[in-house]
Chain A
Amino acid sequence: MNDMVRTDYDILIVGGGIAGMTAAIYASRSSLKTLVLEQEICGGLANQTHTVENFPSHISIGGMDLMENVKEQMTHCGADLIEVVEISKFDVENQTKTVVTDEGTFSARTIILAMGRKPIHLPIEADWDEHIHYCSLCDGNFYIDKDIVVVGGGNSAFDESLYLAGLGVKSITVIEALDTCAAAGGTIQKALATGKIAIKTGTRLTGIDPTEDSAVIELTDAASGATKSIQAEGMFVFIGQKPATTEFQDILDLDQYGYIEVNSDMGTNIPGVFAAGDIVAKRYRQLTTAMADGTIAALEAHRYLCS
């Protein structure tokens, strides 16, 4: 543990996804001494997106490339950044907000929480970890010419299935427990048009039995309870994300799913504590909405400091 104590920051921003980085750009440009603490690397979930095509100013850009650009802009504006930081304690209820980390203890009068969400892992135990994946960019090319299963029927599942099909995966069976897939209709059509992607709705994944080179995947019909098996050499899981708010459940107002409740100015129930991005309770979670959150949170933090 590092004993260094820094109290010279005006604002601490926890999380270096698009919301946190946008907040840092605005805070730095408002002459606030700004520190961004990121527990992994900057970029958040966008780093795991192969292609971003809904970000104004880019017809198409890699998620990681886009996030690198934003990070460069943020540090250019003067924000300090610590990545792969381990946070052991938050103390945000007093006037001075403190974050204790392995790199030291940092205090400031305002804090923006922008830690986003983490993927939900498969709720099934199986001795097949090497073949269960959560990042198609990382592991997709190990399955060229192979048969795989994708678990989940949302936009991520279909976007990633399209990426995997494009890589050269032989066949993809998409498994969705609900009767319909939540992904955009156009994306589903695109997926079906590849001829490589089959969709099984109303179907639950109930077992994984590893064999020598693959696994027998047990599927159960949600309505009838009937089971059947398919063979797969790998599995990619996209069954949603959960907010990283465990440390705040007793002090911040959270909704029933754990997302932080904020007012229209991104303020939480504690003065000086703001939240931005996917961690906030809201309907739409897009790069652009996270940027808007970050912008408002930083400007309001500035106003709070000046009041």
Chain B
Amino acid sequence: MHEQITMLNEETYEGYVSETDCMVIFFKSKCPNCKVLLKVMEKVKARQPDISMAAISSEDDEAVATEQDISRVPTVLVYKGGKAMARRTGVMKPPELEALYAGA
């Protein structure tokens, strides 16, 4: 998938987001907007390597998506200090994604 983005699943999600300040994208495999946003995340990661990026499939790990009340993809959650501090759905440009993380 995307080398710079950590793939999460039902078993690893809670542990990862509670210990790591990060951005997590909920995506689907055949979703074009998800592919765009994953590419945007790669670009932001290249600019700001210190930001941890993660992804989780809302199809394969539906329980997590339901728990997080994800009704639309791509949705990005920003975790800081183990809490979801920001959330946004839809395609973003790199500066918008950077601002979402910085503002959380």
B61 to chain A, nearest CB (A): 14
CB of A64 closer than 8 Å to a CB of B = yes
| Contact of A84 with B72 at beta-carbon distance under 8 Å, contacts A47-B35, A62-B30, A138-B34 already known | no
Q: Which residues of B contact A196 (CB under 8 A)?
A: none
Number of A residues, CB within 8 Å of B: 22
Contact check, A40 vs B36: say whether CB atoms are below 8 A apart. Answer: yes
CB of B89 closer than 8 Å to a CB of A = yes
| Contact of A135 with B39 at beta-carbon distance under 8 Å, contacts A84-B94, A130-B72 already known | no
Contact check, B32 vs A135: say whether CB atoms are below 8 A apart. Answer: yes
Contact check, A41 vs B36: say whether CB atoms are below 8 A apart. Answer: yes
Contact check, B93 vs A133: say whether CB atoms are below 8 A apart. Answer: no
Interface size of B as a range: 20 to 34
Interface string of A45-71 (1 = CB under 8 A from B): 001101000000000001010000000
Contact check, B71 vs A48: say whether CB atoms are below 8 A apart. Answer: no
Contact check, A131 vs B71: say whether CB atoms are below 8 A apart. Answer: yes
Contact of A130 among B34, B71, B74 (CB under 8 A): B71
CB of B102 closer than 8 Å to a CB of A = no
Interface residues of A in 133-148 (CB under 8 A from B): 133, 135, 137-139, 141-142
Binding site for B on A (CB under 8 A): 40-41, 43, 47-48, 50, 62, 64, 83-84, 86, 102, 129-131, 133, 135, 137-139, 141-142
Given contacts A62-B30, A137-B31, 4 further A-B contacts (CB under 8 A): A41-B35, A84-B39, A138-B73, A142-B71
